[in-house]
Amino acid sequence: MKPTAWGAGLVDLLLPAGCIACRHWIPGGRGAPHLCGRCTSLLRRASWPRCERCHHPRGSGRTETDYCLECQEWAPALGAARYAYVLRPPADDLVHALKYEDWPELAVVMGDDLARLPIPDRSGTGRRTVVVPVPTTASRLRRRGYNQAELLARRVSAVLDLPLCEALLRPTARRSQTALTPAERRENVRGTFGASTPASSRIRGARVLLIDDVLTTGATASEAAATLERHGAETVTLLTYARALAAGPEKSA
């Protein structure tokens, strides 16, 4: 065995790679994937049919109305939303590790999943497209060391070869959205976003891909999209790694 291979084997032995979700050992050392094969197979996409605008599953597809109850309260500026997986194990483990457990490298594989999402083109061919992350507050940025949405946006920007534009500002911190009702969430984020002056010219007339880690009620994205529209964005499509859905079994799609 060559010394380099021997050294790599020793590192693999002393510092074995563990699956983010189940913590079981994964062969390959530092080059091993972050999810084992079993946990990767448990990632679930939402079932079909889905709402054309927000891609929320519509059950049998038989509804009494043409609109979706899940996105009817969204600002008109938020034209569409797409997400890779349902927020359930192990997708929620990756989201939590990226956001709270200091695993910024997860943004690469998660961002790749976002970049593969089908993006509706409602603005015609040839429209300029920019990637915009949902910002966090300065206090959260200091505490975490990074903004997970920005890391995801940088990866999407690189994979799709699109310009990254940090167009939004979030100067104030309010209550966490986690335990709030949908109505409380909308009120909690009302007026929280601003637009950076240099970025306004870059988003004016552009199709914006708004990037975040999780979609829950859409309150945050809706407020962000409304701010982008006021500063000239032509359309706004939200891309997230996961979406929280009502409890119940989800089919692979």
Exposed/middle/buried for 159, CB within 10 Å: 0-12, 13-18, 19+? middle
> 180-197: per-residue pLDDT in tens?
666 665 556 665 788 887
* Residue 200 banded pLDDT, cuts 50, 70, 90: confident
Record the pTM.
0.86
Domain limits of the chain?
A: 1-42, 45-243
Number of H helices, E strands in the chain: 9, 8
Kindly state the tokens that stand for 63.
Answer: 């509804």
- The CA-atom distances, in angstroms, between 2 and each of 31, 45, 96 are 18, 44, 39
In single-letter form, the type of residue at position 174 comes to: R
Which residues have a Cβ under 8 Å from the Cβ of 49 and sit 6 or more positions away?
A: 57, 58, 61
Q: Answer yes or no: is pLDDT of 109 > 90.
A: yes
**Do 70 and 56 touch, CB atoms closer than 8 A?**
yes
Q: Answer yes or no: is pLDDT of 2 > 60.
A: no
pLDDT at 192: 77
Q: What is the CA radius of gyration of the chain?
A: 19
> 51-83: per-residue pLDDT in tens?
999 999 987 555 555 668 999 999 999 999 999
Q: Answer yes or no: is pLDDT of 252 > 50.
A: no
Architecture of the domain delimited by 45-243: 3-Layer(aba) Sandwich (3.40)
pLDDT at 27: 81
Which residues have a Cβ under 8 Å from the Cβ of 100 and sit 6 or more positions away?
A: 144
Cα–Cα dist 8/13, whole Å: 9
Average pLDDT, stretch 168-172?
A: 83
Cα–Cα dist 26/46, whole Å: 28
- The CA-atom distances, in angstroms, between 117 and each of 11, 63, 121, 185 are 36, 26, 12, 26
Cα–Cα dist 192/170, whole Å: 6
> 13-33: per-residue pLDDT in tens?
445 578 999 989 888 766 788
Q: What percent of the chain has pLDDT over 90?
A: 60
Cα–Cα dist 42/158, whole Å: 27
Peptide bond into 49 cis (omega under 30): yes
Q: What percent of the chain has pLDDT over 70?
A: 76
Least confident of 23-27, 46-50, 128-132, 175-179: 175-179
The region that residue 77 occupies, defined by phi over 0 for left and psi between -120 and 50 for alpha, beta otherwise, is alpha
